[in-house]
Structure 1
Amino acid sequence: MPVALWALAIGGFGIGLTEFVIMGLLPEVATDFGVTETVAGYLISGYALSVAVGAVGLTAALTRVDRKKALLGLMILFIAGNLVSAVAPTYELMMLGRIVAALCHGAFFGIGAVVAADLVARDRRAAAISIMFAGLTVANVLGVPFGTLLGQAAGWRSTFWAITGIGVLAFVGIALLVPARVGVPDDVAGPSGQAGPGLRGELAAFRAPQVWLSIAVTVLGYGGMFGAFTYIAFTLTEVSGFASSTVPWLLILFGAGLFVGNLVGGKAADKNLGATLLTLLVLLTVVLAVFALTATSQVATMISLVLMGAVGFATVPGLQMRVMRHASAAPTLASGANIAAFNIGNAFGAWVGGLTLAAGLGYTSPLWAGALVTLAGLVVMVVAALVRGGERAEARTARREPERPAVPAGQLVDR
């Protein structure tokens, strides 16, 4: 794999750290600014909303900008936002820093996914995207625990100074390692070092039903896993019987699953995108249901945590690759929209899980809710595969080509 992908991974690591490390530092932040922990928590929700806005709005604004320059500009925005957070004298300025940093999140991963795919051969694109997202998974496994420890030992501002430094490192890496021009893939409009087809061309990609179906699968498929994960601490302590002090260590198991699943899922998606996504969505539905049934067993719970992370995040490279493939003439904005879809899925899954808890259905109910949401994503994926098959049949008829041998039942593909 090109070394440039690791520069993108460093950027992903810094962005992931910015998003998640604040969760472990909320008590210190709240005390420093003299606000309640609920108000401090708005620094998380404000970030998430800004991600969704930036994923579409900022990506759209950059459709005519050279993609390497766009990535460098986004890293400058990321550095500036975290620098503001590190020195913010008031809560309001801290919120501003969080919003500024979050604006680059969706656009970076959206544009970065297109660049990563352009850097490699056609049959390695999902794996390349998974390397960029590996930075995000490492942020969960190692970055958040160590960032929290640093903040608790040297003050929460030290963590944001460290993240600012990571942003500078990513900027330098992208500037030095990402080529200005790479070869033009056969199904992508322009090389990663060149500007895209413009906003009108990017918007035209959304005329394809498969783009919308892909986004819907992302919202539901990923939302089911995240909805279950949102309330996992309650499941671990109230159902599985773990002490609250062990929860951070248990979450490292989940993070390890994320890291491995992301890389394996990328390689599998390169071999057969449709079959990989269908299989993973079936497995994730089963894993969440089995987790709910066996949550009273601590051994089974630890195994389920690893599997939930591995199978859940294994879908990410394929979900991102699918929307880019079906928006191949102008993939940048669709890629950014799919990043926003991940965040919408996060919010939707958490909302559904919260409803089950509010209804008094117990601390395993978010797992059941996650399984149902993921099952809905599987249904949409099956529909998308069937529609795709119909589109191919119509295209063959229009060209008066002979029919290919029928695909055996149960072997839906999306090549």
Structure 2
Amino acid sequence: MTATFNRISKTFFQIFMMATDMTLKEWLPILGMTCSAFIFNTSEFIPIGLLTDIASEFNITEAHAGSMISVYAWIVTLLSLPLMLLVCKMEFRKLLLATLALFGCCQIISAISQTFPILLFSRIGVACSHAVFWSIASPLAVRVVSEQHRSLALSLIVTGTSVAMIFGLPFGRMIGLYIGWRMTFVCVASIAFAILVYLAFVFPRIENRSAFSLKKLPKLFQNKALQAIYLLSFAVATSYYIGYSYIEPFLKQVAGLSDQLITATLIIFGAFGICGSLMFSHYYDRRPHQFNILSTFSIAVSLLLLYPSSNNVYTVVALCAFWGMSVTAYNVAFQAETIKHASQDSTAIAMSVFSSIFNLGIGCGTFIGGFICTYSSMANLGYIGGILALFASVYCILRVRKCQ
């Protein structure tokens, strides 16, 4: 245990030393982008922690309330590419600020919605802003820093996702528990508008030099490496969200954890996600293929052990920590793979396709998870997801390696 702690501490120190080489001109916009990633993913994850309360207020089942997650993901899937083709020549600073403005306004609509269809409609608006943001976030991160800091910039963006799991989802859930789930959306909107003001001052003007057009789309899909990345990411996202979309009711009903302990477990899940992001910064450039295989296989192991670990509070918490680290490591690694294998003028479009396919997997995983909860048993979520993740791991070994 001491040796593991020392390795993690050493990694943190090395990443800190890398970060201190960045100039203030690089740090300020990256900080704003990291905060944006935090709030976008907080918003995406919030319904997972509030499913029970939302279902209770609208007098619907948890599986019905979970459709918010599926619809959100499918909207991102359907609209990421069309929206990016629509705005692919827009100057990036204006596009980023407009995306944040739409995001904040839709959060307000979520907070005041009086019926579930209105809430669902507002989530569709948030999904549209999400689709654009995650298409441009990683490409912008590598544009505002020097080449030597690109891996660090990518890891910081994904760290925003992990921080959302640590603070956003659990504290959003706490707000929902104590003063109502609507106030959670109000808080998200407030933070989004604050980030919008900050970025308006510090984010540089970045010309969009993309010469991409609809005619070039077939060529993008003919890229063998991107084909492998997209198929693998769909399988991994589906397997992961079969279990993760219903982690709150699973921990409550199957593992028997209290509300407070569930919140703590979600915090730990996100905290170890930061470790996964740091490991990417430290190890990915050295052995990218091995890193990709290990992160994919670790997700499969986490899912397969989900139910067996639920008999003991310590084992289920430890498993969630390992799971959070694995998922974040996978996410940032395959964003890097997408950028690496896309041409310079198609990076944002390639990322929009990645986001679309990943969110298609989220929607399918949530739908399958809801089907399992309704017609089988919540205890089987990890087994079904884990088997699919195992197939994805084998595919990663056999196919993705050939495309390196």
TM category, shorter: 0.7 to 0.9
Mind listing any 5+ residue stretches in structure 1 that lack a counterpart? 182-192, 389-413
**Offset of residue 235 of structure 1:** 5.0
Hey, what does 2:295 align to over in structure 1?
A: 280
Give me the whole-angstrom Cα distance separating, in 1, the residues matched to 2:187 and 2:157. 20
The structure-2 alpha-carbon separation of the partners of 1:383 and 1:87, relative to structure 1 and needing over 3 Å to count, comes to same
Give me the whole-angstrom Cα distance separating, in 1, the residues matched to 2:256 and 2:107. 38
Give me the whole-angstrom Cα distance separating, in 2, the residues matched to 1:227 and 1:199. 35
Hey, what does 2:16 align to over in structure 1?
A: none
The structure-2 alpha-carbon separation of the partners of 1:291 and 1:324, relative to structure 1 and needing over 3 Å to count, comes to same
Give me the whole-angstrom Cα distance separating, in 2, the residues matched to 1:364 and 1:30. 21
Choose from 371, 374, 383 the match for 2:389: 374
Deviates more, 1:50-59 or 1:232-241: 232-241
Equivalent residues of 1:117, 1:129 under 8 A apart? yes
Secondary structure of the residue aligned to 1:21 is helix
**Offset of residue 81 of structure 1:** 1.3
2:199 aligned with 1:174, yes or no? yes
Instruction: Show CA shifts across 1:302-329 (max 9, x none).
Output: 2111001111221111111111211123
Give me the whole-angstrom Cα distance separating, in 2, the residues matched to 1:69 and 1:77. 12
Q: Which amino acid aligns with 1:51?
A: V
Give me the whole-angstrom Cα distance separating, in 1, the residues matched to 2:30 and 2:216. 24
Q: Which amino acid aligns with 2:220?
A: A
Give me the whole-angstrom Cα distance separating, in 2, the residues matched to 1:225 and 1:47. 16
Choose from 292, 307, 326 the match for 2:322: 307
TM-score w.r.t. the length of structure 2 is 0.82
Hey, what does 2:134 align to over in structure 1?
A: 109
Instruction: Show CA shifts across 1:133-166 (max 9, x none).
Output: 2222222211223223334544444332222221
Q: Which amino acid aligns with 2:90?
A: V
Give me the whole-angstrom Cα distance separating, in 2, the residues matched to 1:221 and 1:91. 30
Secondary structure of the residue aligned to 1:65 is coil
2:274 aligned with 1:252, yes or no? no
Instruction: Show CA shifts across 1:159-210 (max 9, x none).
Output: 32222221212222332222224xxxxxxxxxxx424223337623222121
Secondary structure of the residue aligned to 2:90 is coil
Equivalent residues of 2:42, 2:164 under 8 A apart? yes
**Offset of residue 23 of structure 1:** 4.1
Hey, what does 2:210 align to over in structure 1?
A: 196
Equivalent residues of 1:65, 1:196 under 8 A apart? no
Give me the whole-angstrom Cα distance separating, in 1, the residues matched to 2:367 and 2:119. 26
Equivalent residues of 2:155, 2:332 under 8 A apart? yes
Q: For residues 25-64 of structure 1, what are the structure 2 equivalents within 5 Å?
A: 25=50, 35-37=59-61, 40-64=65-89
Q: For residues 319-398 of structure 1, what are the structure 2 equivalents within 5 Å?
A: 319-329=334-344, 330-353=346-369, 360=376, 363-388=378-403
**Offset of residue 67 of structure 1:** 2.0
Hey, what does 1:66 align to over in structure 2?
A: 91
Equivalent residues of 2:48, 2:245 under 8 A apart? no
Hey, what does 1:410 align to over in structure 2?
A: none
Hey, what does 1:148 align to over in structure 2?
A: 173
Deviates more, 1:323-332 or 1:270-279: 270-279
Give me the whole-angstrom Cα distance separating, in 2, the residues matched to 1:88 and 1:359. 30
Secondary structure of the residue aligned to 2:388 is helix
Give me the whole-angstrom Cα distance separating, in 2, the residues matched to 1:318 and 1:65. 28
2:143 aligned with 1:118, yes or no? yes
Mind listing any 5+ residue stretches in structure 2 that lack a counterpart? 1-21
Instruction: Show CA shifts across 1:329-371 (max 9, x none).
Output: 31111101111222222233345555666775x6553223222
Q: For residues 204-283 of structure 1, what are the structure 2 equivalents within 5 Å?
A: 204-233=219-248, 236-237=251-252, 240-243=255-258, 246-283=261-298
2:174 aligned with 1:159, yes or no? no
Give me the whole-angstrom Cα distance separating, in 2, the residues matched to 1:70 and 1:171. 12
Hey, what does 1:22 align to over in structure 2?
A: 47
Q: Relative CO higher for 1 or 2, CA cutoff 8 Å, sep ≥ 6?
A: 2
- Larger-Rg structure: 1
Equivalent residues of 1:264, 1:314 under 8 A apart? yes
Hey, what does 1:184 align to over in structure 2?
A: none
Deviates more, 1:97-106 or 1:281-290: 281-290
Give me the whole-angstrom Cα distance separating, in 1, the residues matched to 2:129 and 2:79. 6
The percentage of aligned residue pairs carrying the same residue is 23
Secondary structure of the residue aligned to 1:271 is coil
The structure with the largest helix share of the pair is: 2
Give me the whole-angstrom Cα distance separating, in 2, the residues matched to 1:358 and 1:23. 17
Give me the whole-angstrom Cα distance separating, in 1, the residues matched to 2:134 and 2:355. 7
Q: Which amino acid aligns with 1:173?
A: Y
How many residues in Structure 1 have an aligned counterpart in Structure 2? 376
The structure-2 alpha-carbon separation of the partners of 1:288 and 1:152, relative to structure 1 and needing over 3 Å to count, comes to closer
